[in-house]
Every structure is written in C-alpha cells, then in structure tokens.
Amino acid sequence: MNEEAKTSYSNSTKADFEIREVGRVLSVRKFIVNASGMPYCLNGQVVEFANGVLGLVMGFTEEKVQILVIGDPSSIRAGDEVYNKGQQLKLPASKGFIGRVVNSLCQPLDGLGPIEPEEYLAVFKVAPGVMERQPVKETLESGTLIIDAIIPLAKGQRQLLIGDRLTGKTTVAIDAILNQKDTGVICIYCCIGKPYSSLLKILDILKEKDALRYTIVVSGIASVSAGEQYLAPYTACMLGEFFMSQGKDVLLVTDDLTKHAWIYRQISLLLERAPGREAYPGDIFYIHSQLVERAGYLKPELGGGSMTFFPIVEILQGDVTGYISTNLISMTDGQLYFSS
C-alpha cells in the first residue's frame, strides 16, 4: 500500500468523538436538579442536559450532583441524560458587545443579530493580586456636581450606592454612564431582579442620550430563571475584564446586589445548605466579595486598564445595619448614602 493510500485509509477510519460523562437526572426541584453518574465533576463546571439547556455544578455528594439550571427547567424530567465534558463556564467576549443588550449567557436580546466572539473567558475568576495593580490616580467624573466636588471618584474604585427604594440610586448611576460620553470609558449596566418595564425605561434613556454606543446592557430581569439572575453580575464583570485587559477604562453598574443576594438565598435553600442569619447561607459574603474584588487599576504591563464598580444595594427604612448592606459596606472603598 503506497503512502497516499495509507493516508486515505487512515483518514477514513478516524472517528469523530468526544469524551464526556453521562449522568441521569434523579429529581428536579424547581431550578435545582439532582443527578447521578458523574463522579468526576467539580464545582463550577458546566453541564448540558439532553434538551440542550445548560447547568452549573453547585455541589455534590458521593451519591449525587447538585446542578443549577441556567435557563428554562420546565422541560427537564427525571431519567433524562445529562452530559459533563469537564469544562469550566466560559462565555464569548468581543468589542461587538458594545451597544448591545445580552443575557447572562452573552446571547443577544435586542434582535440585532449574532455577535461575533473574539475569545472565550471564564465567568468565575480569581481577582488580580496586589502586585498586578497600581494605585488609583485618575478621576472618574460621575456627572453629579456635589459628588465630584466633595468626594471625587477614582478609576478602579468600588463605590457603593446605598439607600431605600426610590431614593435616586439608579438615577445617579445612569447619570454617571451618560457622563462618560466621548471620554473613552466603556460602560456596562447589569440589571438583576428588576421588572422588565424598569429595564425598558433605562434603555430608552440610553438611546435618547446616545449612550448605547459605548454601553453594554446585561439583563438578568425578574422574569428569567434564577440561574440567569445569579450569573448576570459575573457575566458583566467578565465582559468588563475583557476591555480592561486591552487598556480600556470600564464603569460597571450592578443594579442591584440585594436582589442578587435574595436569588442566591433561594438557590442555597433548595440546595439544602444550612441557613444562617436571615436565612442566608454561610458563603453569602464570598459571592459578593469575589465579584467586587475584580475591580481595580492594572499595571501598564498588564494593559493599564481599569474597572470601576458602582454596586447598588437597597435597604429598608434607612437601616444600614442589615446583613447584605453591612457586608457590601465592608468590601467597598466608599459609600454614597441616599435618603428621601
């Protein structure tokens, strides 16, 4: 057999295959699925159900794997197959996301067609270390005169906006986005647990003021699944890190982390984790600290970009001593307190 025939035979006998674990759904509890038969899965890995819906591994025992469904769980049934390829959750990122409205899986929601990815980045990532950062030194103007005059904000800072509902927290955050026009700052607005009507009002303002051309909107509104609401701020942060690594300045508004904590409490209770203060799980501090720690000002050799955080937290009757509010106060660089 000559070399050409050998090559042809070799190519014809090659089979396309992939290595994956195949498990079975044991039970479905709202948006939490218990499955068996995947002994090599790890926390944070992404799995796929037989109907194409994705899931995130949130915990496991010797007998079962606990999976958070990212999408619609209504079509998942006991006995369905679930596949684990041993991959961490990575989502697409590119400059094409600017001016678009996407969900927690970076899928476009605005009907303007698909977005071409430049690379795939991990959604959950360790924050840059101290040696990878430089001191904050540049001012980020918020567009609110009293804030810029008395307590100026810096690029790479984490500034908490805290107050009762309807006290103007989102208004100040949106004003900060509008004020970045023609400054080169990329803005990301992440909506968590808010009604669709609220998101539409914000989109109308951004379009009217011509701010969408430098803004990305990540939607985790109240009508989507708990998994998508949980992922929304991490997805927004991942998109911000893509631009920060290219030397860009990024402003990220997360509106709001109180509702994000509520969603995580629901998830943890369905995972049967031990409830603590106000029924929140023991790691409620970590899920927010791992997020806000990713803000910062990188050294020039790492791109020299910055990511500024404006996390919003809602309190009740001016009480800043609540569990979530005190957690966020302790992990941010400064706070703006709103009261009517």
41-86 pLDDT per residue, tens: 899 999 999 999 999 999 988 889 999 999 899 899 999 999 998 8
* pLDDT attached to residue 61: 86
pLDDT of 106 over the 90 cut: yes
* pLDDT attached to residue 62: 85
- Nearest Cα residue to 25 out of 84, 86, 76: 76
What residue type is assigned to position 1 of the chain?
M
Give the whole-angstrom CA distance, residue 205 versus residue 171: 11
Structural domains of the chain sorted by starting position, each given as residue range(s) with its CATH number in brackets: 21-88 (2.40.30.20), 91-338 (3.40.50.300)
What residue type is assigned to position 233 of the chain?
P
Segment 160-214, tens digit of pLDDT? 999 999 999 999 999 999 999 999 999 999 999 999 999 999 999 999 999 999 9
* pLDDT attached to residue 290: 94
Give the whole-angstrom CA distance, residue 266 versus residue 141: 37
pLDDT of 17 over the 70 cut: no
The pTM of this model reads 0.92
Q: How confident is the model at residue 9 (pLDDT cuts 50, 70, 90)?
A: very low
Which range, of 14-18, 20-24, 177-181, 220-224, averages the lowest pLDDT? 14-18
Cβ pair 262, 316 in contact under 8 A: no
Cβ pair 312, 253 in contact under 8 A: yes
